[in-house]
């Protein structure tokens, strides 16, 4: 009942049509941890930050379980703090459609020579979620874990397809679930049809492929099966930053909690992940993910059920 | 158990990444009629063509009921043939993503002074589906029908929002169901969020709003309810022309057959409409819609059920 994730813990500065932020705490592992803490008993983070980081935010992460008995614990001993260095910083500006954005600044800082070290206490984690970082580092993480976790999930992006193809292929061959967006699935497979793309990607290693389509939902492919989960139509999408990571955190957290990695249960996990993502976008950064109640999450899941429920009886 | 539709019967020349056609028979009313004939007992078409039209194709439309006892009859007495004039012609070229296209040629020909006359035999049709034509003509159609049909459904497009706003508003005030795409919903409501757009549009007249998102599915809004139907992920989309009309034909045909215009039944109708659209795109033009079996349609609907089915139990 524990989840290990490796990814960025960082500063973001975000501009959307609805407003802009100064430097706020972001990073894939941050979103993943907040989201998963509603499901997993224990979330272990491996990352790197500079000593410019907002340590109060790190304390908040470490104290999720103090807030509510039903929240898991987030362990941050694997977050290396580099003295005299600066944390990874990303700044972006979203277009009106909220589906596309311009990156304004990417300061790698501590990330430039990140060397992930997995603490011994983390090595028996049940699920490993490889956040979107250099595939060479993802490989280093896998190599440090003596007994393969029950499930290895990987997030990546087009950037690594462009510059680190060979290492990317090596990681993909070792994982169970790959989560990428539709454009990335096309780039990875060199197929335009997502059905054809999925077939091809499922021969590269993973048994499950999640294709994320943002406001258009997500597809789960496994063998000859396909499942589609919509995104919830929202009155306002305030800030999409971290939605994909929040989805992945909820997805893995739910699988960890329920200890069931069947296709049927992955469908449920996708709904829970989508519900978590629908909260994420309602406020800037991780704000909305910090103090949710299980009642709010269940109510949101019920909205997904209502959204797609229909009743057709076909005579056999 | 009859459906009346007013729309184009026309020639199309289509180019996609997979091939191109010479002039083939298309037009909204053609797709609507083929699709609805699998559900409605009687489909009545009002349109206009020139004497250059392929009359064999018109005969095919008129003989659907001879092919199969379970197919409805298509009545084409309302299709005016203008001697010495040419049929409406549209030519377009699809981009690789199949979601966008360039219009190469639009020759209005007979459509330029189309004056729709509703035959008396058509006037008691149960459902009226106003295909995408000039709102002034849609108003003329409504005005010719003495007793309001049980349901009036309207398709329209951004073009009419640009050049015929006032008449468009007059039609929208008189209908029950409006079917438009996401960009059009945004243009019509001046709202970016589709949820906000839907709320606004539902104050303009219709009780139901369908927002079509192509390969991303369709949303149905009614009062405070929303239903989402995915599009089926297909190996190959060969030609998207007419998919929206095929959807509308299947949607209206199903409602006509089942004589139930509740929200619950409209959800089913959207699934059947989406199933019909998924056939339409598999071949050029109307080819795939001519000789379907009910077994094929039911199997396709079952694929939609499997695609979105999940099983989450939430304690109350």
A30-34, B101-105, B248-252: least confident range: B101-105
Cβ within 8 Å of residue A305, ≥6 positions away = A271, B312, B314
**Binary contact (A213, B216; C-beta < 8 A):** yes
How is residue A51 written in tokens?
């000593």
pLDDT at A275 over 80: yes
Model confidence band, residue A292 (pLDDT cutoffs 50, 70, 90): very high
- pLDDT at residue A50, rounded to an integer: 98
CB A42 within 8 A of CB A64: no
**Binary contact (A216, B217; C-beta < 8 A):** yes
| A positions 33-62 inside 8 Å of B (CB) | none
Q: What is the pLDDT of residues A211-230, one digit of tens each?
A: 999 989 999 999 999 999 99
**Binary contact (A302, B311; C-beta < 8 A):** no
**Binary contact (A193, B236; C-beta < 8 A):** yes
**Binary contact (B301, A307; C-beta < 8 A):** no
Contacts of B192 in chain A (CB under 8 A): 96-97
pLDDT at B316 over 70: no
Out of B97, B271, B307, whose CB is closest to A312? B271
Contacts of B219 in chain A (CB under 8 A): 233
Q: Is A311 on the interface with B (CB under 8 A)?
A: yes
Cβ within 8 Å of residue B165, ≥6 positions away = none
Cβ within 8 Å of residue A249, ≥6 positions away = A5, A31, A32, A33, A34, A35, A36, A129, A273, A276
- pLDDT at residue B66, rounded to an integer: 77
> Min CA distance, B89 vs chain A (Å)?
30
More reliable by pLDDT, B63 or A37: A37
Which residue in B16, B95, B233 has the most chain A C-beta atoms within 10 A of its own C-beta, making it the best mutation to test that interface?
Answer: B233
Report pTM: 0.94
**Binary contact (A230, B228; C-beta < 8 A):** yes
> Min CA distance, B18 vs chain A (Å)?
12
Q: How far apart are CA A29 and CA A5, in angstroms?
A: 7
Q: Is A22 on the interface with B (CB under 8 A)?
A: no
**Residue of chain A whose Cα is closest to the Cα of B196:** A235
Model confidence band, residue A316 (pLDDT cutoffs 50, 70, 90): low
- pLDDT at residue A97, rounded to an integer: 77
Calculate what percentage of chain A has a pLDDT beyond 70: 99
pLDDT at A200 over 70: yes
> Min CA distance, B253 vs chain A (Å)?
16
pLDDT at B249 over 80: yes
User: For strand B10-16 and strand B19-20, is the pairing parallel, antiparallel, or unpaired?
Assistant: antiparallel
Which residue in A181, A310, A312 has the most chain B C-beta atoms within 10 A of its own C-beta, making it the best mutation to test that interface?
Answer: A310
Just give the CATH number of A2-308: 3.40.1190.20
How is residue B113 written in tokens?
């002074």
Average pLDDT over residues B101-125: 96
Which residue in B228, B229, B262, B301 has the most chain A C-beta atoms within 10 A of its own C-beta, making it the best mutation to test that interface?
Answer: B228
**Binary contact (B264, A230; C-beta < 8 A):** no
Model confidence band, residue B184 (pLDDT cutoffs 50, 70, 90): very high
Contacts of B255 in chain A (CB under 8 A): none
- pLDDT at residue B248, rounded to an integer: 98
Average pLDDT over residues A233-247: 93
CB A231 within 8 A of CB A224: no
Average pLDDT over residues B219-236: 95
Model confidence band, residue B207 (pLDDT cutoffs 50, 70, 90): very high
Contacts of B313 in chain A (CB under 8 A): none
Q: How far apart are CA B147 and CA B120, in angstroms?
A: 12
First to last CA, chain A: 42
CA atoms within 13 A on the CB side of A75: 20
- pLDDT at residue A313, rounded to an integer: 86
A152-161, A217-226, B61-70: least confident range: B61-70
Tell me if residue A68 falls in helix, strand or coil: coil
Contacts of B217 in chain A (CB under 8 A): 216-217, 230
CB A273 within 8 A of CB A307: no
A134-148, B91-105, B186-200: least confident range: B91-105
Average pLDDT over residues A123-145: 97
**Binary contact (A193, B219; C-beta < 8 A):** no
Q: What is the domain partition of chain A in residue ranges? A: 2-308
| A positions 165-194 inside 8 Å of B (CB) | 192-194
Out of A228, A233, A311, whose CB is closest to B230? A228
Tell me if residue A168 falls in helix, strand or coil: helix
CB A179 within 8 A of CB A210: yes
**Residue of chain A whose Cα is closest to the Cα of B191:** A235
Whole-complex ipTM: 0.91
Q: Is A314 on the interface with B (CB under 8 A)?
A: yes
Q: What is the pLDDT of residues B8-19, one digit of tens each?
A: 999 999 999 888
Q: How far apart are CA B176 and CA B279, in angstroms?
A: 27
Q: Is B234 on the interface with A (CB under 8 A)?
A: yes
CB A245 within 8 A of CB A7: yes
Model confidence band, residue A195 (pLDDT cutoffs 50, 70, 90): very high
Out of A195, A228, A268, whose CB is closest to B234? A195
Q: How many A×B Cβ pairs under 8 Å?
A: 90
pLDDT at B140 over 90: yes
Q: Is B264 on the interface with A (CB under 8 A)?
A: yes
Average pLDDT over residues A27-34: 98
**Residue of chain A whose Cα is closest to the Cα of B267:** A310
How is residue B42 written in tokens?
């009687």
Q: Is A97 on the interface with B (CB under 8 A)?
A: yes
**Binary contact (A305, B312; C-beta < 8 A):** yes
Out of A195, A298, A308, whose CB is closest to B235? A195
pLDDT at B97 over 80: no
Q: Is B200 on the interface with A (CB under 8 A)?
A: no
Average pLDDT over residues A139-158: 97
């Amino acid at each position: 009942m524990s989840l290990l994730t490796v990814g960025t813990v960082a500063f973001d500065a975000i501009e959307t049509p609805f407003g802009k932020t100064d430097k706020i705490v972001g990073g894939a592992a941050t979103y993943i941890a907040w989201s998963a803490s509603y499901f997993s008993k224990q979330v272990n983070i491996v990352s790197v930050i500079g000593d410019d980081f907002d340590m109060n935010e790190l304390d908040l992460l470490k104290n999720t379980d103090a807030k509510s008995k039903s929240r898991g614990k987030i362990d941050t001993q694997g977050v290396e703090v580099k003295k005299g260095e600066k944390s990874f910083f990303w700044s972006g500006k979203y277009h009106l459609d909220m589906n596309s954005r311009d990156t304004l600044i990417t300061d790698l800082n501590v990330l430039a020579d990140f060397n992930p070290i997995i603490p011994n206490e983390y090595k028996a984690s049940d699920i490993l979620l490889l956040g979107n970082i250099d595939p060479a580092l993802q490989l280093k993480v896998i190599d440090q874990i003596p007994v393969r976790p029950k499930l290895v999930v990987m997030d990546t992006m087009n950037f690594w397809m462009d510059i680190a193809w060979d290492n990317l292929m090596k990681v993909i061959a070792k994982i169970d679930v790959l989560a990428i967006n539709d454009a990335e699935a096309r780039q990875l497979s060199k197929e335009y049809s997502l059905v054809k793309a999925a077939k091809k990607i499922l021969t590269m290693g993973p048994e499950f492929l999640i294709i994320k389509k943002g406001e258009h939902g997500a597809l789960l492919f496994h063998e000859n099966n396909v499942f589609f989960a919509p995104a919830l139509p929202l009155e306002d999408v305030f800030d999409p930053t971290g939605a994909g990571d929040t989805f992945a955190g909820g997805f893995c957290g739910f699988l960890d909690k329920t200890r069931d990695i069947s296709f049927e249960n992955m469908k449920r996990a996708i709904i829970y992940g989508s519900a978590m993502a629908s909260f994420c976008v309602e406020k800037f950064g991780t704000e909305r993910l910090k103090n949710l109640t299980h009642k709010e999450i269940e109510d949101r899941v019920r909205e997904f059920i209502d959204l797609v429920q229909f009743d057709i009886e076909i005579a056999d």
